[in-house]
Amino acid sequence: MEIDWKKNMYIAWIGCFFTGASFSLVMPFIPIYIEQLGAPKDKIEFYAGLSISVTALSAAIFSPIWGNLADRRGRKLMMIRAAAGMAITMGSLAFVPNVFWLLVMRFFNGVLAGYIPNATAMIASQAPREKSGWALGTLATGAVAGSLIGPSIGGFLAQTVGIKNVFIVTGTILLINTILTIFFVKEDFQPIEKKNMLSTKEVFKLVKKPSVLIGLFVTSLILQIGITSISPILTLYIRDLGGGTENILFVSGLIVSVAGVSTFISSPILGKIGDRIGNQRILLAGLILSVICVFPMSMVESPFQLGVLRFFMGFSTGALMPSINTLISKLTPPEGVSRIFSFNNMFTNFGQVMGPLVGSTVANGYGYRSVFVATSILIMINICLTLFNFRGELAFKNLFKK
């Protein structure tokens, strides 16, 4: 059966958009919902943070399990499983009686997640290698666009239909995503018996450059730490910069979103450039641009300056996302592509757990500006690791030689 990988990519893009939107859509009003569920006022921020972290943590823990199953049963099946599972867990949040059950369902939300990494693994396995950077860069914009538009849609729906009904709407959207994936995504995959499948250890032995792969995992981890470390302190930092800005929530939302806009614009373009000049070069350039943008954030004097730097930082994220996924797809044997991507997803989720913790801990000890300094140091370490992994022009030329 001949697969139209471009059609699959566009359907998967819609699925990634819905998935990204469903995660971010509930963020603006989670603290209010937790308050409505009867949480003590002095614990609302704690439970709000925990409800976010527990989803990323459970997703990180279970991601390799689903990756193993995807290599046995196919990526499409895992995309359907993730979309259907999240439709149930998201929709059920409308009916939880208290904060404990909200945290339980948020935990299972992470357990059953995995649409985006499985969609990425499927397109990575189907797209021609010379177009993989463009394909994966384009696919990445789906989740970015969803996460960008999600908070504004969520805020609007919460005001018009009520918070509980937002969860039902989100569950319905994910149900539509499930149906689209069932009927329109095509995959020519022959299920493999467990006894005939390569073990994860054997898959890693077949990886062309294991040290490079581990370096890419670390890059994904640090990328997420850098993106999310600012989350706990952003509004407070902007308030300090603006001297008590009246429309603080609007300004904070704008500064968060502006990085996503530049990421959305640049991901497919930089992915296509990476296909031509080498994704490892784009990766290194993205890391260098990232530290150039992040460090000066510790010295800005106004919200506008912070927003400009965040906008340019989005271009670095746009360089890093498709480059990491494309390099992983080129390093990975076809028999284990889902498992390798699931491990990268695990590092990504751990970064999402660690980022807010790093940001709040550093801010409490050394002040808001120190968060950006600490993140810059992490990125510099990552640059050194990347230079070591891709050392010498010979390594750049021969990395993917057959």
| DSSP one-letter string for 368-383 | HHHHHHHHHHHHHHHH
Statement: residue 339 has pLDDT above 90: yes
Distance CA 311, CA 259 (A): 4
Rounded mean pLDDT of the chain?
A: 87
**Predicted local distance difference test score (pLDDT) of residue 225:** 87
**Tell me, what's the pLDDT at 122?**
94
Predicted local distance difference test score (pLDDT) of residue 394: 35
pLDDT at 288: 94
**Which pLDDT does position 19 carry in this prediction?**
93
pLDDT attached to residue 295: 95
pLDDT at site 356: 84
Q: What is the DSSP string of 187-221?
A: -------GGGSPPHHHHHHH-S-HHHHHHHHHHHH
The one-letter amino acid code at 386 reads: T
pLDDT digits (tens, 9 = 90+) for 188-241: 888 888 778 888 889 988 888 888 899 899 989 988 888 788 776 777 788 888
* pLDDT single digits (tens) 349-359: 999 888 888 88
Contact 120, 70 (CB under 8 A): no
Query: What tokens appear for 343 in the block?
Result: 């491990």
**Which pLDDT belongs to residue 246?**
62
pTM: 0.85
pLDDT of residue 392: 57
Other residues' Cβ atoms within 10 Å of the Cβ of residue 117: 28
List, for residues 242-300, the tens digit of each pLDDT value: 755 566 666 777 787 788 889 889 999 999 998 888 888 899 999 999 999 999 999 99
pLDDT tens digit string along 102-161? 999 999 999 999 999 999 999 998 999 889 889 999 999 998 888 878 877 887 888 888
Distance CA 20, CA 139 (A): 12
Q: For residue range 66-112, list pLDDT tens digits in order.
A: 999 999 999 999 999 999 999 999 999 999 999 999 999 999 999 99
List CB contacts of 145: < 8 A, sequence separation 6 or more: 17, 20, 260, 264
pLDDT of residue 398: 52
Is residue 45 predicted with pLDDT exceeding 90? Answer: no
Contacts of 332 (CB under 8 A, 6+ apart): 124, 203, 207, 213, 340, 341
Q: What is the pLDDT at residue 402?
A: 42
d(CA 318, CA 232): 23
In the chain the domains, ranked by start, together with CATH numbers, are: 1-186 (1.20.1250.20), 198-396 (1.20.1250.20)
pLDDT tens digit sequence for 1-19: 568 899 999 999 999 999 9
